[in-house]
Amino acid sequence: MEKLSVRDRKHLWHPLTQHKTHGDMLGIVKAQGAVLTDEDGREYIDAIASWYTAMYGHCHPWITKAVSEQMKKLDQVVFSGFTHQPAIELSESLMSVLPYNQQKLFFSDNGSTATEIGIKMALQYFHNLGEKRNVMLASEEGFHGDTFGAMSVSGLSAYNGPFEE
């Protein structure tokens, strides 16, 4: 069978990658703790926790067990018009660490859309007050995601230059 990197090249585009100049992608076949193993058996330390989504390590036994148990009860339900016990319990738990004037949560599935949601909430708030606001504060040269709104408050022109306006 062809290597993953060869098969990948045929049909996939990767985020934040200039494909004309980037070499083949590493074909990862296994992950455990902080170690990634490629299809040739070489090991790599995942020093960025796969963009901070595996902060407890890959395939952590407690997490995989908890996810498996939850999937047997309720795998997914759209959150628009529906609710479920895990979301309610998490929100109730988070209230104990939030300031008294922060009593509402909005769950998002990734950083880019969390940034988008924050932008939309801020703009909507001032719109509801009858004020027009169109300036956002963000970290200079920061990267806040690769969706349009997130790119609009990012400063890394290598990624968002074509979309700055």
**Residue 22 φ/ψ region, left for φ over 0, alpha for ψ in the -120 to 50 degree band, beta for the rest:** beta
Do 119 and 94 lie in a common domain? Answer: no
pTM for the model stands at 0.71
Whole-angstrom distance, CA of residue 91 vs CA of residue 143: 28
Please, are residues 153 and 118 in contact by the beta-carbon 8 Å criterion? no
60-112 pLDDT, tens digit per residue, is 999 999 999 999 999 989 898 999 999 999 999 999 999 999 999 999 888 88
Do 47 and 76 lie in a common domain? Answer: no
CATH number of the domain to which 42 belongs: 3.90.1150.10
Residue numbers of the domain that contains 51: 4-62
Do 112 and 81 lie in a common domain? Answer: no
DSSP secondary structure of 71-116: HHH-----SSS---HHHHHHHHHHHTTS-TT-------SSHHHHHH
Do 133 and 146 lie in a common domain? Answer: yes
Do 9 and 54 lie in a common domain? Answer: yes
Task: Residue count of the chain, please give it.
Answer: 165
Do 101 and 114 lie in a common domain? Answer: no
2-49 pLDDT, tens digit per residue, is 999 999 999 999 887 888 899 999 999 999 999 999 999 999 999 989
Do 48 and 28 lie in a common domain? Answer: yes
